[in-house]
Amino acid sequence: MELSEEEIERALARSRRMFQMDLAHSLAVAHDEGFAEGYAIGRCYAKGYTEGLAIKRKLIAKKMLADNMPVDEIIELTKLTREVIEGLCGAD
């Protein structure tokens, strides 16, 4: 059984549409996965940055304590709580 030229054209058009739909779906999935991965990396970076900033503030506060700076001034400058600063007094 031979296919007519019209049937061949319809089959080719259908194949092209299916290919385009598959390609669009694959790109959408890849985009979503890439976005999710990038978001997770960004969250890790933000968390690391925040933790690093807290460590830096504590190191600065320890130096201020070593220089006999009043605790109230250290609180104002570092934005650390009194409890955290007092906890640094004996910590090394």
What is the number of structural domains in the chain? 1
> pLDDT digit string (tens) for 37-49?
999 999 999 999 9
The Cα–Cα gap between 33 and 19 comes to 21
Question: What is the extent of the structural domain holding 55?
Answer: 5-88
Q: Between the CA of residue 61 and those of 5, 52, 65, 69, 89, what are the distances in Å?
A: 83, 14, 6, 9, 9
Examine the pLDDT at 66 and tell me if it is beyond 80. Answer: yes
pLDDT digits (tens, 9 = 90+) for 19-43: 999 999 999 999 999 999 999 999 9
pTM (predicted TM-score): 0.59
Q: Which residue has the tokens 């130096």?
A: 63
